[in-house]
Structure 1
Amino acid sequence: MNKMNCLIFDDHPLVCVAIKSLLKELGMTNEVFTATSAKSAFKTLKESNIELLILDVNLADCDGFDFYKRIKSHGYEGKVIFFSAETSQMYSQMAFRSGADGYVCKSENHDILKDAIEAVVKGYTFFKFKQVANEVREMPQLSSRESAVMKYLLQGKSNRDIAFVLSISEKTVSTYKRRVL
């Protein structure tokens, strides 16, 4: 099996170091890059042949799902594992729907992340929630705005806060909320 170049994008440097150490232990990667900002992650993706991206969902300067959508539109075709503190099954479903190869919660044992990396590198997908594939196929496709509203609702944000962040009216948030729920 060929070793892959990997980029770890998390706004917490300690998380990047820990995952980098885990990747070296697995011996499945060639070079491992780290980024703590969208700008440096995008630069690394442009300058290096990254075949595996391990990406946080909630980043300081951007949303992980939006970042993934943006790099795919710029031609990124490598594998992606979302790695997040978010334990809600909805995040795993959003990762699955976005075309990611895996989703792991940061609260899991490190062996789960190892299993996910090994599975994804071998060409499989890894989503811990067993019901994800069936539920996602039964759910209607959400627009990007509906997904954004859902994400903020899951974080416990109010309609007013969501409206402010997305630069839309509270009434529009209510409409999206009604469609999603």
Structure 2
Amino acid sequence: MGTTQEPTAPPEAKLINQRRKAQIPRMSHQRAADLAQQLTGAGFSASAWGKIESGAMRGRADRIATMAMVVGVTADELTAVGRQDAARLLHEDVQRRAGADPALAGLDVTVTPEAVLQVILQGLDEIRSHSGLTDDQKKAVEASLIRSVLQTVSTQIDHIRTVLDATGERSSGGGR
């Protein structure tokens, strides 16, 4: 009597699954599929999401790119697990969306790291999909998100400058 083996999930599916489960609060297949559907305008069921994550169904590049966007997997991470096709689509989508989003008008998206843009876009998607906020409230929360990200980056740069000053490596000649 034979036994059926569970399909082995490919590395990109395992990464997406891990990232989805790490969301706080934990993101269900249904919530993830709903966000994916909002991003693409195309049908994306919770069942399909689960099948791709489990390895029961191979995810097309466009599906993997969308799933990655929803849960915060970057193009570099997709490349690292062998899905260059999905990584290219994700990269193109992040650049397109960031360049067209009015909430990001104050950022130079040509020099902002892609991972930062993706985190911001993911936050904007969450805010925009929230049904309990008015449009004005959503705009206020969006602005708060952008300010917070910029402040965090600025604080990190100040910290780096302090460390570099303390080690004497910031100035080009080593002295002042």
Q: TM-score, normalised by structure 2?
A: 0.32
Highest relative contact order (Cα 8 Å, sep 6+), 1 or 2?
A: 2
Q: TM-score, normalised by structure 1?
A: 0.31
Q: Normalized per residue, which structure has more strand? A: 1
